Structure 1
Amino acid sequence: MAHEQLETYVVETPEQAMALLNPLRAEILSRLVEPASAAEVARGINEIPQRVNYHLKALEKVGLVRRVGSRQVRNLVEVLYLAIARTYVLSEGLNWANDTVQQMKDQGALSHLIHTAERIKRDALFLLERSDQEKEIPSATLDTSIRLASAEERSAFVEEYVQLVNQLVKKYQTAAQGQETYQVILAVYPKEGGDQS
């Protein structure tokens, strides 16, 4: 069953912005590009379902996720949730001073980066354990750096970067059942010790 989902959503309210800046809530949203239950999300991020359910209710309350159905699992009815969009952008029109908005963006991105790094480490350790029992665990990494001349150029680079990755994902995404799902995580951040001038 198809469900409508925006490619990008502009966050206009402080309540939505604060929800997005919570690393766990941002992680939950990233897991809801397809309909999923609290239990499924909890398994994916190694959390307890009750905690995920609490944060899902908070995300639903501010309009960042919505209920898209339910299903029977043994004696329980699981509610399925879907994020309203694949990516989120903080509006410059939020009722905060520009430097506050920028600081929130920076802090939120850094918090998400730390949470993502922890997730990669956890996933990699799990796959290392699996590799003891299987011949091959397919994976790939890309590590590069780029010098950007200004904040405007940095913003343009990130925007194009996201667009290109989304195009690539759409090109190779398969609807076939039973195919292995691969996690794709990309990050952009200042290089330690790099020239900031």
Structure 2
Amino acid sequence: MSIEAVDVIAAPAAAIVALDPVRSRMLAELRQPRSAAELARALDLPRQRVHYHVRQLEAQGLVTGAGERRWGGLTERLLVATAEAYLVSPEVLGAAAARPSADERPDRLSAAYLVAVAGRAVQEVGALLRRCRESGRPAETFTLDAEITFRSPAARADFARDLAEAVTEVIARHHVEGPGGRRHRLLVGAYPIPPHTPADAGPNREQSHD
């Protein structure tokens, strides 16, 4: 059976279950269908404990049945994670979740503002994914991910100015007012890549799903 590439966890109870160290290891092992016996051997855990954790994961919709397999005269139930990877949405924190500033002119050079905007994107796109799964329709998304090296802070500032002007021009050319259109959110952010992060395969990676 096919599983989702990424699932965004929005329910606090599901987040609590998934964040348990043993259960998160189980989710990683269950990217491919496995039996409880295989899980017990892979994680070096007693079968009874494995069954307990599996029940918790199934109750939150993080693990599901994947058929049966006969082995050694026995019939084993196979299990699989509902996604290859998971991300916890900020909405799990409720009122304590980070949110972008409501100011008309927020501090766009603030790292905290970037984190809050990224968190909002996780929450909104996660909700979009859930709606698309229910309707069976693809999500209308577009992603541009790139790396760039600046010679100096001044060069970085020049780039930010040029990019803002270019994006503003493109938005003005395509934006429409009035009813009948579908609103989209565009995010552009930049930050220094942490040391020891592996280099990507190429300078630009662009994906779209229309």
- TM-score normalised by structure 1 residue count: 0.49
- TM-score normalised by structure 2 residue count: 0.46
